[in-house]
């Protein structure tokens, strides 16, 4: 989208971003609060009492929300673009994986939702916190690069930290040390957000994205919260510290039972993660109170979510994300705003690719003019569930990272693994590359996954009878269902825009073409076959 001239832009604002029916003449404001690595399956929302009270209890809590990829950079790229990874081309947290690369900046950043909000809808835009993991890399423009679409830019260079970091403040470096009152990142993000709200341009709609480091490692809590949750341990649910039998080799290689040192480590990590979230809870409270004080709360949508889930000991994997299971791919989503009833819950199947089209829809922009893969949630927020044809399945994609050399902590596994622990448990590998169909429909709660490896390994779970995904039923499930799920996976892996909304296999409108099933011959399409 090329920049418009002033007269054309004025016309575009009237034409492309019509006022939303049922709200004030000024378009609604939007606030997105995004946490980093916050699960929902293992109790990640438990510490956030204020957040649940101020957003969930006064709005809608969505219970079935999934990420397009269970890793920071591809997931955040999906939030910004409204696209699945196979369309935005960000596959992992490395520059080689297109994370904040020059290619990303050239092909995707100009068409992210903030760029559209700013350019066509007259929104004042504000960003504070973690953007993409490789943001600030010198070979990709350094911190001088401010992505299009942002009027106010306070972006963290590289990955999450709490102290001793550098911010890009509108393209200029701002260095921070380890003085709590001045430098603790979650609190700093709160302070600059409140400052923006205080001195914003009145009568102009705004979009704010506050992207906290918590609860990502190194899990550094604020001093006042260092002794919170000292009696808490990671949940000992039925998939904790058990062997991942019948799963992909990367899961099977985990040592079971875990060593005492690994269990002590993950329990400590679990506590510290909760401790860091208490500062996020304070941030949410301050932002809500400030919106109220400046008389913007009633005309502001507030979204709270995470970029991916997390695990602590499930299937004997100590700590990380990147896997296809619920604990890594399912995230919280709480929303309050104009016209949203209080204390509502919603079980519709959502993905983080739905956020971008939702924001544009709130702004009055015609989402059909974009090539986004997601669907606007605005009808669901407005209580129009009965009048909406919604999806019954969605796609999850991940491309594994691995080194050509052996990991020094785990030489016996050979090259190709990464993120290994001292007791020789590795959390990722180059062929930990998979795509899944996650289906939630009236007759089924299923997950079907294929790995892009020499085995074309398949995992299938019936979450109605097996919510912790212990038993892989790929070899026992009805063959017709297996064939249809394979067919549906290939459809979603090649989808773009509106074709990503086509019916799933439990929708009566679904049409099955058996000629396309199990196409894994010499010319089979790889999961991520396009080059950057």
Alpha carbon of 300 to those of 44, 208, 307, 339, 390: distances in Å? Answer: 25, 10, 22, 10, 25
Residue 371: other Cβ atoms inside 10 A: 13
Active-site residue, 72 included: yes
The C-alpha angle with vertex 108 and arms to 104 and 114, in degrees rounded to 5, equals 120
How many beta carbons lie within 10 A of that of residue 443, not counting itself? 9
3-state helix, strand, coil in the chain (%, to 5): 30, 20, 50
The residues that bridge with 438 in the sheet, in sequence order, are 394, 447
**Distance (Å, rounded) from C-alpha 286 to C-alpha 19?**
29
27: CB partners within 8 A, 6+ apart: 17, 19, 20, 121, 122, 123, 205, 362, 363, 364
Cis peptide before 443 (omega within 30 of 0): no
Q: Which residues of 467-500 are buried (b: 16+ CB within 10 A; e: fewer)?
A: ebbbebbbeebeeebbbbbbbbbbbbbebeeeeb
> Whole-angstrom Cα distance, residue 79 to residue 101?
17
Tallying the residues shown for the chain, one arrives at: 532
Report the candidate in 321, 240, 249 with the shortest Cα–Cα distance to residue 37: 321
Active-site choice (9, 17, 72, 99): 72
The helix/strand/coil state of 330 is strand
Return the DSSP state at 55: I
- What is the Cβ-side half-sphere exposure of residue 498, based on CA atoms within 13 angstroms? 4
For residue 491, what is the enclosing H or E element?
helix 479-493
204 by DSSP, 3-state: which? coil
Smallest CA-to-CA distance from 71 within 382, 363, 433, 456 is with 433
- Check if the beta carbon of residue 459 is closer than 8 Å to that of residue 485: no
Q: Which residues are catalytic?
A: 72
């Amino acid at each position: 989208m090329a920049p418009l001239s002033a007269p054309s832009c004025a016309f575009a604002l009237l034409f492309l971003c019509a006022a939303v029916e049922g709200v004030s003449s000024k378009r609604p404001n939007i606030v997105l609060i995004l946490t980093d690595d916050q699960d929902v399956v293992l109790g990640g929302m438990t510490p956030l009492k204020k957040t649940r009270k101020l957003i969930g209890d006064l709005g809608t809590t969505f219970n079935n929300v999934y990420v397009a990829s269970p890793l920071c950079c591809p997931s955040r790229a999906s939030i910004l673009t409204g696209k699945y990874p196979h369309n935005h081309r960000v596959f992992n947290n490395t520059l080689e994986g297109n994370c904040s690369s020059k290619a990303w900046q050239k092909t995707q950043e100009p068409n992210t939702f903030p760029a559209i909000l700013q350019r066509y809808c007259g929104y004042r835009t504000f960003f504070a916190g973690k953007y993409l993991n490789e943001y600030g890399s010198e070979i990709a423009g350094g911190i001088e690069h401010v992505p299009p679409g942002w009027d106010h830019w306070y972006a963290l260079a590289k990955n999450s930290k709490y102290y001793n970091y550098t911010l890009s403040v509108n393209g200029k470096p701002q260095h921070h040390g380890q003085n709590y009152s001045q430098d603790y990142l979650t609190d700093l993000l709160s302070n600059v957000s409140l400052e923006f709200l205080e001195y914003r341009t009145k009568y102009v709609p705004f979009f704010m994205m506050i992207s906290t480091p918590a609860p990502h490692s190194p899990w550094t809590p604020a001093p006042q919260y260092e002794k919170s949750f000292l009696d808490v341990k990671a949940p000992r649910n039925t998939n904790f510290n058990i062997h991942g039998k019948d799963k992909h080799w990367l899961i099977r290689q985990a040592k079971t039972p875990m060593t005492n040192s690994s269990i002590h480590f993950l329990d400590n990590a679990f506590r510290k993660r909760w401790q860091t979230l208490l500062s996020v809870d304070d941030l949410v409270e301050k932002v809500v109170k400030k919106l109220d004080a400046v008389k913007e709360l009633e005309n502001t949508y507030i979204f709270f979510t995470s970029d991916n889930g997390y695990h602590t000991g499930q299937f004997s994997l100590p700590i990380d994300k990147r896997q296809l299971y619920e604990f890594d791919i399912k995230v919280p989503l709480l929303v309050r705003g104009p016209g949203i009833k209080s204390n509502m819950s919603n079980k519709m199947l959502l993905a983080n690719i739905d956020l971008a089209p939702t924001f544009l829809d709130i702004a009055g922009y015609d989402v059909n003019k974009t090539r986004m893969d997601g669907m606007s949630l605005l009808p669901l927020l407005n209580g129009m569930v009965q009048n909406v044809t919604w999806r019954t399945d969605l796609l999850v994609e991940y491309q594994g990272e691995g080194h050509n050399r052996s990991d020094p902590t785990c030489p016996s596994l050979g090259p190709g693994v990464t993120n290994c622990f001292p007791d020789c448990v590795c959390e990722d590998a180059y062929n930990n590359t998979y795509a899944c169909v996650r289906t939630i429909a009236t007759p089924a709660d299923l997950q079907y996954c294929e790995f892009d490896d020499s085995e074309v390994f398949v995992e299938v779970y019936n979450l109605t009878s097996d919510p912790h995904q212990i038993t892989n039923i790929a070899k026992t499930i009805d063959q017709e269902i297996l064939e249809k799920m394979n067919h549906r996976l290939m459809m979603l892996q090649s989808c773009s825009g509106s074709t990503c909304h086509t019916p799933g296999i439990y929708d009566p409108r679904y049409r099955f073409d058996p000629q396309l099933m199990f196409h894994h011959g010499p010319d089979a399409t790889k999961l991520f076959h396009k080059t950057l």
